[in-house]
Chain A
Amino acid sequence: EVQLVESGGHLVQPGGSLRLSCVVSGFTFSSYNMNWVRQAPGKGPEWISYISRGGETTYYAEKVEGRFIISRDNAKNLLFLQMNSLRVDDTAVYYCARDFYQSVGSFDYWGQGTLVPVTA
C-alpha cells in the first residue's frame, strides 16, 4: 500500500524557519518525481515545489522561490522542504504528493498533510 506521511509542522513566528519531512512507503521512491503542495485556510490547493527522481532538477512557485528548498534522500525514502523567512501568508496545510507517471503534472498519491501556522 502506497503511503506518504508528512511531519514537522508546528507554530512558527514570522521570519522563522522550519523543515518538513515526508516519509514514503509502498513504492520505489527513487523512481518517482515528487512535489509539495499547500492549502491555506479557505483557499484552493497551491503547488509550491517539485523535485526529480534523482534530485538533480527542482522547481519552485514564484511565491516561495529563494525562501524554500526541496530535497530528498532516496536511501531513506524521505522528502524534505526547508522553509526559511516564513511569512504569515505561508500558513497552510502542507502536503507531499507523488507525480503521476501516466499523466505527469498530476498527483496520484498524497499524504494527509502537516499544518504550519505562521503567527506572532
Chain B
Amino acid sequence: EIVLTQSPGTLSLSPGERATLSCRASQSVGGSSLAWYQLKPGQAPRLLIYGASSRASGIPDRFSGTGSGTDFTLTISRLEPEDFAVYHCQQYDSSRTFGQGTKVEIK
C-alpha cells in the first residue's frame, strides 16, 4: 500500500498569504496519479487538482499542483477567506489511498 504523509499538520496563515502544502509518498506514484481535495465540515469534499498538476473544473487559478514520483506540492498563491479548510492528497496509481491532511487555519 502506498502511504501518503502530509506536512505540516497545521498551517497558520493570514488571508493574502501563500500556502505551501506537501505530500510525500512511501513509493513512487506512477503516471502522476495524484489528486488534492478540499474538505470543510458538513460539506461535500471538493476536487481541486488531478494528475498532480491539472486544475479541476471551476477551481480558481490561485490553486496549483506540482510534483512527481514521491514528492508533491499544493500551493495556494493568495489565501482567500473561503480557503481555510483541510486539504488531503490522494494517490490512485495503486489502489486508492489518502494522506492524513493539512489544516489551513486563520492566524
A44-B101, A112-B44 given; A104·B90 CB < 8 A: no
- Nearest A residue (CB) for B97: A47
- Give the residues in chain B near A112, CB-CB below 8 Å: 42-44
Q: B101: nearest residue on chain A (CB-CB)?
A: A44
Q: Are A103 and B45 in contact (CB-based, < 8 A)? A: no
Tell whether, in the assembled complex, residue A103 and residue B51 are in contact, meaning their CB atoms are under 8 Å apart. yes
Measured as residues with beta carbon below 8 angstroms from the partner, the interface class of chain A is: 20 to 34
Is there contact, CB below 8 Å, between A47 and B98? yes
Q: Are A44 and B44 in contact (CB under 8 A)?
A: no
Partner of B50, one of A43, A61, A102: A102
Instruction: State whether A103 and B90 are in contact (beta carbons under 8 Å apart), knowing that A47-B95, A110-B45, A112-B42 are contacts in the complex.
Output: no
Which of B42, B47, B100 is A100 in contact with, Cβ under 8 Å? B47
User: What is the interface of chain A mostly: helix, strand, loop, or mixed?
Assistant: strand
CB closest chain-B residue, reference A102: B50
Tell me the bound Cα distance from A51 to B33 in angstroms. Answer: 20
Across-interface contacts of B37 in A (CB, < 8 A): 45, 107
Contact assessment for A106 and B100 in the assembled complex, using a CB-CB cutoff below 8 Å:
no
CB of A27 within 8 Å of the partner chain: no
CA distance A46 to B69 in the complex (A): 22
Q: Which residue of B lies closest to A4 (CB)?
A: B44
Contact status of A106 and B99, CB under 8 A, knowing A111-B44, A112-B42? no
List residues 36-65 of chain A with CB under 8 A from any CB of chain B. 43-47, 61
